[in-house]
Structures are given as structure tokens and as C-alpha cells.
Amino acid sequence: MVSHVAKRLLGVGGVPPGENARAYGWEKRLHALMIAIAITALVAFYLTEFAHVRELFVIGHALEWLIFLVFSVELVWMTSVCHQKLRYLRNNWLDVLIVLCAGLALVGVETEWVAVVRLLRLATVALLLTRALRPMRSLLTPGGLPYVAMLAVIIFLVAGAVFYWLEPTVRSYADGLWLAFVTAATIGYGDIVPTTTAARLFAVLITMVGLTLFSLVTASVAAFFIGEDEKLLRRQMHQDLQRLKEDVARLLTEEEALMRRELHADVRRMREEVERLRHEIEKQRRGDRDA
């Protein structure tokens, strides 16, 4: 209950309890897509704020439009399939704020309010990352390690291509991949280093992403071993409960047998007592007739 309240307060409540199955189904289908779109906000922010090439800025601006449109369509669609529309909007006020900030940032691109637009972009990125981190707790489970590893591989492959594109000293994709790994792992051999401003800024981003990824891997490995310990503990508890049931059944059987023996003995004594009383009554009747 506390978890549901916290989610609603953070604006990531999702489909409210008691909704129709269709709403839950669509939320599950759109889950991975919305995470991917939210993470794309980092690339869009980098291209629009730090890339000095006109073509890169256009790509970043197009990504901003994509993020705005996808989140707008998702918000409208999920609201339409939910019966409790106002409750859904209250539970997911973060999505409403994301659409609002992204829309205002797009509208203000061609105006003189450059500082406000940058602030709105930064706020949008922060909100989108908050939205993307909501389901990340599923990665911190015993079964989340393969997904973390797959996510890390995808990020390194993309980062290698970006370094190959941005850094002139990187002469092959393999060198870009190596630079992405040593940057994310904060190893810093020094054989290949970013020299351009764009590559250095991207290296800062990859360092932060790398620290997060390695932390997730460590947490997932720890969760895996903790999960194995929990499985062992559950098996032991199950065995203990099974033995306890057997002991209780055995005790009940022995108690039942003892009660039966005592009952048979009591019945036998009662029969003997009844027989004795019958003989005495018969004896007294005979004595009355003789008298």
C-alpha cells in the first residue's frame, strides 16, 4: 500500500487498481518503448545543446519532436482506454508534466528565450529519466542480470560508434568500442583519449552511464546470490514444515491409538459394572420373591 502511495506521489502510478484488462495490457505493451524513448532524451539534449554541427542539431531537434509526440500519444491513448480517466491523470501527473515541458521547449526554440528553452530541455530530460528509472527496480532481481548485460552491450556498441564519429584519433570502430569501454569503466589507459570538445562531453556522459551500469551489474549479481540463498532457505523451510507435519501426524496417530485403547478399557469396565449391577438386581428380585 505504501509503495502505491509513493508511486502516485511521484507521478508514476501507472494504471490505477480496479481498471479494465485492456488498460493493463496496453501499459505492458508500451512499457519497453517508453523506456527507450525516455533514454533517447539524453541523446537529444546532447545534440541540441553541445553539438555545434547544424546537421546534428537538426537530428536532436527531430528527436525532441519524436519524444514529445510519442509521450503525447501514449498519454492520450492510455487515458482513453482507462475508465478512471481523471484518476489515471492524477496518478501519472509526471507524464503530463513531461508533455507540457517538452511542448513548451519545442515552441520556444525559434524565440529569444534561449535560457528558458535550455532550462525546459534540462527539466524534460530529468523528468524523462525519472520516468525511465521507475521500472529499473525489476533489474535488481535474480533474473535481471541478463537484461542488465544486454543493456550494457547495446550502450557500448552505440557509444563505440559515436566515439568513432566524434573523435578524429579513433581510426576504427574497434578503437571507438575500446574507448567507450575504458571510459565507462573509468580505467583510463591513455592509449586513446578524446581530444575534441564534443568527444570529451560525450565521454563525461558515458562515464556516468558506465558507473550506473556497473552498479546495476553488481546489484544484480548480489541479488542473484541472495536469491539463491532465499531459494535454499525456502527449501529448508519446506523440508522443516514437511517433517513437522509428519511429526504432528505421527503424534496424532499415537494419541488416537492411546485414546482408543483407553476408550475400549472404559467401555469394558462399564460393561462389567453394568453386568455386576444386573446380577445384584436379579439377586435382589429373587430374594424378594422368596420372602
Instruction: State residue 141's pLDDT score.
Output: 59
Q: Provide the grid cell at 253.
A: 496417530
Find the mean pLDDT for residues 43-62. Answer: 77
How many CB atoms are located within 10 Å of the residue 156 CB? Answer: 21
Whether residue 76 has pLDDT greater than 80: yes
Assigned C-alpha cell, 188: 583510463
Cα–Cα dist 201/207, whole Å: 10
Cα–Cα distance, 252 to 111 (Å, whole number): 85
pLDDT at 267: 84
Task: Say if residue 77's pLDDT is above 90.
Answer: yes
* pLDDT at residue 101 in the model: 80
Asked whether the predicted pLDDT for residue 132 surpasses 80, the reply is no
Q: Are 68 and 102 in contact (CB under 8 A)?
A: yes
User: Region 49-53: what's the mean pLDDT?
Assistant: 69
Which backbone phi and psi does 174 adopt, to 5 degrees? -65, -40
pLDDT of residue 1: 44
Q: How high is the pLDDT of residue 140?
A: 55
> How far out from the chain centre does Cα 223 lie?
13
202 pLDDT exceeds 70? yes
- Burial of 112 (C-beta count, 10 Å sphere; 0-12/13-18/19+): exposed
Query: pLDDT, tens digit, for every residue of 229-278?
Result: 677 777 888 888 888 888 888 887 888 878 888 888 888 888 888 888 88
Q: Which residue has the cell 507524464?
A: 95
* pLDDT at residue 135 greater than cutoff 90: no
Pairwise CA distance, residues 98 & 202, whole Å: 24
Q: Report the pLDDT averaged over residues 62-70.
A: 88
Q: Give the pLDDT of residue 73.
A: 92
- Higher model confidence: residue 63 or residue 131? 63
More confident residue, 31 or 147: 31
Percent of the chain at pLDDT > 90 equals: 4
Average pLDDT over residues 96-120: 70
Residue 7's closest CA among 94, 96, 75, 128?
94
Mean pLDDT, range 127-132, rounded to an integer: 68
Q: 141-291: which CATH topology?
A: Helix Hairpins (1.10.287)
Mean pLDDT of 91-112: 76
Comparing 3 with 94, the larger pLDDT belongs to: 94
Q: What is the mean pLDDT of the chain?
A: 78
Q: Would you call 37 exposed, middle or buried from its count of C-beta atoms within 10 A (0-12, 13-18, 19+)?
A: buried
**Lowest-pLDDT range of 87-91, 103-107, 109-113:** 109-113
For residues 113-125, average pLDDT: 64
Q: What is the mean pLDDT of residues 166-181?
A: 88
Q: What is the average pLDDT across 118-129?
A: 68
Instruction: Output the pLDDT for position 253.
Output: 82
Mean pLDDT within 62-74: 88
pLDDT digits (tens, 9 = 90+) for 204-233: 878 887 887 777 777 767 766 776 667 777
Q: What is the mean pLDDT of residues 21-26?
A: 89
Question: What does the angle CA 274 – CA 276 – CA 282 come to, to the nearest 5 degrees?
Answer: 100
Helix/strand/coil for 141: coil
Q: Which of 288, 50, 246, 162 is nearest to 184 (CA)?
A: 162
What proportions of the chain, in percent to the nearest 5, are helix, strand and coil?
A: 85, 0, 15
